[in-house]
């Protein structure tokens, strides 16, 4: 039988293949999970046997990256859309459907938040500056990160985890949620009204943030709390499920 004291296994999706046929992932994500006490397991695109992986995971992170193909949300093509990767889209959309069904604790970050929303039938804004203007930057030119304030919904799970109602975070996106998918609740916005976070009240632990907590979590305890809370939820789910799940035996 699995020991409930074993650290929870946290899956992380990787980026799609780069020009050298490698599956990269910024180490910030892995390090944030390790600081939280989780064991990171990378899941590259193209995997078709997702059920055996999900059966072993205690939690999941859908990571950042390039844009979804707008055909997934009946969106329009736009000249700014970049790094579209059918292999990554297929794997992550399939993971998103399944994590909702299973009630698997999951933190969705940037592209991950968009993947979750699209998987649930929501839509995206193809290029934010076209719709909210550029008084507030969500990324700098040539696709570089910036920072801006984020206003959290009082009483939300997110505000409870972060312990405050306003934060400043790293922003690195040019798209955002347009219409939230069914079951998702908007729990944070930028000062320009852009949706910056979603949560699913009917799910045990499902949070989606448009910003990049992993980029500052090493030095900002407020951002690290997202990873700590995910690992705590994964640990709790693991203990709950352990007695009838022989696949988690480690001996
Ligand atoms: Mn932003």
Q: Is residue 3 in some structural domain?
A: no
Q: Is residue 249 in some structural domain?
A: no
What is the pLDDT, as a whole number, of residue 251? 42
- Which residue among the candidates 126, 199, 214, 232 is catalytic per the annotation? 214
Q: Is residue 248 in some structural domain?
A: no
Q: Is residue 250 in some structural domain?
A: no
Per the annotation, the verdict on 110 as an active-site residue is yes
Q: List the shell of residues around ion ligand 1, using CB closer than 5 Å.
A: 138, 171
Q: Is residue 176 in some structural domain?
A: yes
Per-residue model confidence as pLDDT tens digits over 32-75: 999 999 999 999 999 999 999 999 999 999 999 999 999 999 99
- Which residue among the candidates 138, 174, 203, 212 is catalytic per the annotation? 212
Per the annotation, the verdict on 214 as an active-site residue is yes
Percent of the chain surpassing pLDDT 90 = 91
Q: Is residue 246 in some structural domain?
A: no
What is the pLDDT, as a whole number, of residue 4? 53
What is the pLDDT, as a whole number, of residue 249? 46
Give me the number of domains the chain comprises.
1
Q: Is residue 4 in some structural domain?
A: no
What is the pLDDT, as a whole number, of residue 246? 47
Cα(70) to centroid(ligand 1), Å = 20
Residue 214 maps to which CATH number? 3.40.50.880
3-state secondary structure the chain: CCCCCCCCEEEEECCCCCCCCCCCCCHHHHHHHHHCCCEEEEECCCCCCHHHHHHHCCEEEECCCCCCCHHHHCCCCCCCCCCCCHHHHHHHHHHHHHHHHHCCCEEEECHHHHHHHHHCCCEEECCCHHHHCCCCCCCECCCECEEEEEEECCCCHHHHHHCCCEEEEEECCCCEEEECCCCCEEEEECCCCCEEEEECCCCCCEEEECCCHHHCCCCCHHHHHHHHHHHHHHHHHHHHHHHHCHHHCCC
Query: Which residue range(s) make up the domain with 69?
Result: 9-241
Q: Is residue 178 in some structural domain?
A: yes
Residues of the chain falling short of pLDDT 50:
1-2, 245-246, 248-251
């Amino acid at each position: 039988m699995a020991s409930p004291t074993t650290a929870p296994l946290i899956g992380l999706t990787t980026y799609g293949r780069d020009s050298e046929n490698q599956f990269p992932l910024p180490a910030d994500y892995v390090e944030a999970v390790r600081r939280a006490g989780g064991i990171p397991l990378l899941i590259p695109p193209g995997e078709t046997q997702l059920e055996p992986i999900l059966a072993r995971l205690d939690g999941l992170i859908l990571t950042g990256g390039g844009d979804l193909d707008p055909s997934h949300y009946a969106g329009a093509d736009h000249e700014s859309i970049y790094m579209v990767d059918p292999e990554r889209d297929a794997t992550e959309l399939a993971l998103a459907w399944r994590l909702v069904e299973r009630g698997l604790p999951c933190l969705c970050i940037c592209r991950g938040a968009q993947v979750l929303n699209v998987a649930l039938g929501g839509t995206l804004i193809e290029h934010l500056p076209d719709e909210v203007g550029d008084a507030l930057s969500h990324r700098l030119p040539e696709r570089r990160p910036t920072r801006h304030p984020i206003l959290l919904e009082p009483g939300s799970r997110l505000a409870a985890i972060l312990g405050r109602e306003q934060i400043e975070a790293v922003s690195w996106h040019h798209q955002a949620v347009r219409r939230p998918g069914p079951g998702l609740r908007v729990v944070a916005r930028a000062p320009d009204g852009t949706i910056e976070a979603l949560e699913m009240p009917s799910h045990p632990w499902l949070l989606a943030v448009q910003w990049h907590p992993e980029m500052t979590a090493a030095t900002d305890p407020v951002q690290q709390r997202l990873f700590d809370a995910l690992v705590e939820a994964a640990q709790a789910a693991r203990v709950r499920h352990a007695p009838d799940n022989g696949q988690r035996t480690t001996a």
